[in-house]
Every structure is written in C-alpha cells, then in structure tokens.
Chains A and B, each alone.
Chain A
C-alpha cells in the first residue's frame, strides 16, 4: 500500500503537457469592459455598423443579467473588469494568405500542441482553423472546400464576406439574452469559426479548429456558427489547450448549429484546457453555451465531447428538435481529477413530431474532484410520438471524489416516451487485483478500465481523434490510482 501512495504523490505532480507560453509579440487591450472597449474591438476588426449595434445591445442586456449560481461548482467571483477582452499576435495588416505567411513561432506552438498544420494537411486531410487567443491564425484547405461550395473561415471574415448569412443566423439559436455568459460572449466575442454547407453537399473532409489561450489575463470568447442547408452533412471537431498560469482564465464560448431539412451536423469536442495544479490553483473557467437547432425535418445534430481539462466546466451542448423526425444525440465523457469541477450535460428540447434523442453520459471522477451530470429532456405539446433514451454512468476512482446526477424531465405530451438509466460504479479493488495479477501495471489497468467505461462514446468520435481521446484520458488519469 505504501508504494501505491508514493506512486500517487509522484504521479500527481505530473506537468500539464500543453502548459507552455509562447513568446510572441501581441497587441493586447488593457483590462476592462465598457461600450468604448466594445467599439474599439469592433473597430479593430473593421466590423460593419450592424455588428457593433448587435454587440452593444447584447452588452446593455448583459449588464442587467446576473451570473448564474445554480451549477454544482464553486469558484471565486469573477471581476469582469480585470479581464482583457482582446489579444492578438502582432502581424502585418493583411491576414496571412497561406501557412507560409504565418509567424513561424506560432506554427511551432501548434507543433508543440501536436497539430503540425502541414502534417495534418497532408496526412489527415483535415482542414484546420486555428484560433490563437482571440484571432483566427490560419485556415487550411480553403480551396478544396471552396470547390465543394463549403465555406470554412473565421467568423470575422464571415462578417465581412457573408454578412447576410451571419445576420440571418447569428444569435438565432443562442440569443444574446439567453444566459449571462452567452450575453457576455455576444458583446465581446473576438473570433471563432464559421461553416456553411450548401444544399445537398457532403463536406469532403472533417473540419477542425484548435483553440488556444496564450496571453495572460485575457479571456477567450470565441463564437462558432455552423449552418447545414438541406440534405447536407458536416463533421466538425474542436480541440482546446491553454498554458499553465496561476491565475484563472475565463473562456466563455458560444456555439450555434443550424440543421435544415435532412441535414446532419456532427460536432465533436476534445477539451483539454489547463485544469489547474494539484492544489487547485489556476486553470480555465470554461463557461460555454452550445446549442443546435434541428429546424428541418429529418435533420440530425450530434454532439460528442471529451472533457478532461479546465478548473471549472459549465457546459450543456443542447438540441432543439423542431423539425419532424429530427434527431438529437449527446455523447459525453467528462473526466475530473485533483480539484477540477465539472457540471455538464445536455438539454434535449423536443418540439416536433416523432423527434428522438439519445443521451449517453460517462462521468469519471478521480482525486478530490466533483463531477455532475445535469440534463433536461423536455417534450412540448406538439412532440407527438417523441422519445428519449438517457444513460448516465458515473465512475469513481478513489474515495475523495464525488459524482452527482441531476436529470430533469418535463413533458407536455402524453405520447412521449422517455427512458432513463443511471449507474454509479467504482474502479473496484477486485478489478485492479485481476489486472495486476495478470501482470498489468496499475496505471495501465486504470486507463484500460476507464477506456472500457467510455467505449460507447469514443466510438462516436472520428477515428483519429478517438485514439487521441484515449491517450488524453490516460494522461489525465495519471496519479489517480490509490
């Protein structure tokens, strides 16, 4: 037993792999939030008047909103005036037109993150949009995508180049008044990704964005908007990392998905923001609003998330199932270790006839962490024949962590069917003994058991990322045996 404890204390001290700071020159706003800052932000991005108006309206609304406190998480109060709302690497006036024009230092950063853009471009056929602090650095694969008619660019570019689409859909799924953090994001979002897949087009490759917070005391407020027209299909993946800093950093993103008739959007997230150290110091506050509107008939929106990072996570990727026969899916693995806190889950809002949804949530708690699933399944009066299946499984490692499940079900339609299954289990001493008796290292055994527990979710991830997710779990779990 003594050896086990020693191993634990050694391994707990492992370094966060992505915790480097990139030494590049950047333009950063002084901390503070007011209308003048928003105007400056909008001005720097050369935004049209309507965009600035939209932001200011959101800001005024936000001022009247209260920060929510219902989540099962605790964190010190955030002073929104101590945050800088814009930070961008210094670079020539023009956006880089190709990777060759991107600051080599930045490219090296991405290589450290394990995303060599060139490599990815060649080998994986993944189009990557990389958002560094507040701006979009490079978008690869623009050309083949353009040939297919797919628009994949930063949201800032979209505001310039496709204002009609942005005007029509921005805030249509997550309005500025939706919640406190969405309101803040609407006022100050700095960049993010825009995807538009035209009618009948199956996007020829996986789209991918990597986010990274680099500058100190900055918040990251990215905004993602994905529109899938009739009978189109797109699969999108985002990954996130941040350097190690003693101060907490705020990340408040908004993601909106719109699926029209017979369209499918698959959205996958591998979130590995800095979780703070073993004493709970530092780390990212990840307060994110993600929602998809399955507007069209037979449309489908599928969320898959692997959440291993952040000090505090508050996130509920949701589906509004408006179209007849539309389908919503949520597959989630949320792992917390040390002092991490996660309150995550989904909302499935069934409005249309014969809509169906599936929720598979796997929560893993280790160390002294707290992990909560919070989910709402709602059936409106028109949701004739709608059904939901929910499965929430919690896995505890050790005896100092906590797992909580908060399922809410509201039904205004008697024909709706809902099934709910929930389990809580532990990585048992017997399982560990069996593995070790067969010669398997304790660390490897835990990782294998946890991966088995998450199998149903991992199989939903795009192949190459499923492997990445498995490895990420392994790293995040180090030091959790004992």
Chain B
C-alpha cells in the first residue's frame, strides 16, 4: 500500500523530515506518536502534497504509484485523504456543495457518473448521522462557525464519504471532549477495512484506547526512532519520551491542545 523511503522535507530551507522510512500494508492501522515539533504534522502534509514543504530527497509510493509526481488533487483522487488538524473555513460555500463537488471529482476520476443533488443529499444525510451531526449542518458554510468537535467530526464524515485508500488523521483527537472522542473513534473504526490503510498522527495515547493500532512509531527530530506494536503506546504513556533520548517540551501540558 504505502511505502515511504528516506523521505526528507524542509520548509524555508529548514529540514523537518530527515529520512523517514515507513511501510503500511492494506488493512493496517499505524499510529505515529511523538513530541511537538517532531515533524508529525509535516509528514501528514507532505503525504497529501502540501506546497508549503519541499521534498528534497526520498520517495513515496502508493500501490506502486509515485505520489511525488502527482499534484495534491491528483493524489486525493488516487485515494489519499487527510483529516486536517485545523480544518479551515470557507465562508458562504455550503458543506453540501463542497462535499458533492469533492465526491463528484473522485467519481469523475474513476469514470463513474456524477451524483445529482438529491442523490447526494440522501447519501450525505446518512453519513452525517454516523458521526452524530445534525443533517441541517450540511447546509452551513464549510467549517463556518463550527465548534472544534464539529470540525473534527466533519473531517471524519468526509473520509466516510470519500472512502479513501489511505486515510491520514492528523491530531484528530485534539480539542475533543470525551463524548466527541467516542463519536470520532467510532467513525474511524468504521473506516477500517481490508483494502484501506490508516495512518494516525497523535500526541497522546488516549485516542489509541479507542482506535487500537497495529503498529506504533515514535517520530522525533524528523526521524522514526522507535517502532513497535500497540504496547509501545502504553509504554510511552507510562514512561514519556525521555527513555528514548527524546525531549518532550509538552510532556506536562494538558491534552486540550486545539
């Protein structure tokens, strides 16, 4: 499925990712943990094709296809989905219109007919219930005036609608209260499938109680410094990052980072 080899990326001449190697097979859920500033979000953004970062070395392939040669939207159509840490607002554009445009862009790419407004509405309503969002919210502007929790649920709803091959979840748990965390986790668990890979990026272990990963990796200083099974997350919770020789500036901070 996803293969990352010796990936280096920088922003404004400063290298953030310093040689990442990672293999994720279809059906697997991987968690990337690590202190703030370790490059977790950068990795998510680089995979999705953000133009903020420059890839200076290495390769990324999805089912053998070289992602680095594809534009952001082309990667999306090949099945790369990023649930944003801070979903941005698009005032005046209804969620419904936005989602339908996205879904139809994917369908067009796959050679399927576009969904008309009525069909899509019906489909979107069902999916919105899955993440406990009032269907009325489909008519609101994209992320416009949404609470932190609503934004995150909206991201998961989009993943459910778009059915990606690779879902990257960037700090999807941040800013969620415990109820919302349950809803979001249920949504992500519903995404788990034989033919889909999930990459979760998180600072905290608590999400991993709800979405149990197959593998956990510790990212620090732009490199993966340790990989293991799900038990690694528990170990990190108990012992922090210190034993790995990694400083965590926010080890004592609360989990309400938004």
Q: Which residues of A contact B (CB under 8 A)?
A: 1, 3-4, 428-431, 433-442, 444, 448-449, 451-456
| Inter-chain pairs besides A436-B71, A438-B158, 8 sampled, C-beta below 8 Å | A1-B51, A431-B88, A437-B49, A437-B81, A439-B105, A448-B93, A448-B98, A454-B92
* Chain B residue, CB-CB nearest to A430: B88
Given known A-B contacts A448-B97, A452-B92, A453-B92, A438 and B105 have beta carbons under 8 A apart: yes
Q: Complex Cα distance A220/B71, Å?
A: 47
- Across the interface, do B76 and A439 meet the contact criterion of CB distance under 8 Å? yes
- Docked complex: B59-86 residues within 8 A CB-CB of A: 71-73, 76-77, 80-82, 84
- Across the interface, do B73 and A442 meet the contact criterion of CB distance under 8 Å? yes
* Chain B residue, CB-CB nearest to A444: B101
- Across the interface, do A439 and B92 meet the contact criterion of CB distance under 8 Å? no
Expressed in whole angstroms, the minimum distance between the Cβ of B54 and any Cβ of chain A is: 9
Contact with B101, one of A3, A448, A455 (Cβ below 8 angstroms)? A448
Q: Complex Cα distance A444/B73, Å?
A: 11
List chain B residues, Cβ under 8 A from A435: 90, 98, 102
List chain A residues, Cβ under 8 A from B49: 436-437
List chain A residues, Cβ under 8 A from B50: 433
List chain A residues, Cβ under 8 A from B145: none
What is the size, in residues, of chain B's interface with A at 8 Å between Cβ atoms? 31
> Within 8 Å of chain A (Cβ to Cβ): is B207?
no
- Across the interface, do B72 and A437 meet the contact criterion of CB distance under 8 Å? yes
List chain B residues, Cβ under 8 A from A439: 73, 76-77, 102, 105-106, 109, 162
Expressed in whole angstroms, the minimum distance between the Cβ of B258 and any Cβ of chain A is: 16
> Within 8 Å of chain A (Cβ to Cβ): is B87?
yes
List chain A residues, Cβ under 8 A from B91: 452-453
- Across the interface, do A3 and B71 meet the contact criterion of CB distance under 8 Å? yes
Expressed in whole angstroms, the minimum distance between the Cβ of B165 and any Cβ of chain A is: 13
Given known A-B contacts A431-B88, A454-B92, A438 and B102 have beta carbons under 8 A apart: yes
Contact with A441, one of B87, B88, B97, B105 (Cβ below 8 angstroms)? B105
* Chain A residue, CB-CB nearest to B86: A430
Contact with B48, one of A4, A430, A437, A452 (Cβ below 8 angstroms)? A437
> Within 8 Å of chain A (Cβ to Cβ): is B52?
yes
Q: Complex Cα distance A89/B80, Å?
A: 59
List chain B residues, Cβ under 8 A from A434: 84, 87-88, 90, 142
Expressed in whole angstroms, the minimum distance between the Cβ of A429 and any Cβ of chain B is: 7
List chain B residues, Cβ under 8 A from A448: 90, 93, 97-98, 101
Expressed in whole angstroms, the minimum distance between the Cβ of A405 and any Cβ of chain B is: 18
Expressed in whole angstroms, the minimum distance between the Cβ of A471 and any Cβ of chain B is: 15
Of the candidates A3, A428, A440, the one having the most CB atoms from chain B within 10 angstroms of its own CB is A440
List chain A residues, Cβ under 8 A from B19: none
> Within 8 Å of chain A (Cβ to Cβ): is B141?
yes
* Binary contact readout B90-120 vs A (1 if CB under 8 angstroms, 0 otherwise): 1111000110011001100100000000000
Expressed in whole angstroms, the minimum distance between the Cβ of B7 and any Cβ of chain A is: 19
* Chain A residue, CB-CB nearest to B106: A439
Of the candidates A428, A429, A434, A455, the one having the most CB atoms from chain B within 10 angstroms of its own CB is A434
* Chain A residue, CB-CB nearest to B72: A436
Expressed in whole angstroms, the minimum distance between the Cβ of B70 and any Cβ of chain A is: 11
List chain B residues, Cβ under 8 A from A430: 88
Given known A-B contacts A437-B48, A438-B76, A439-B102, A428 and B71 have beta carbons under 8 A apart: no
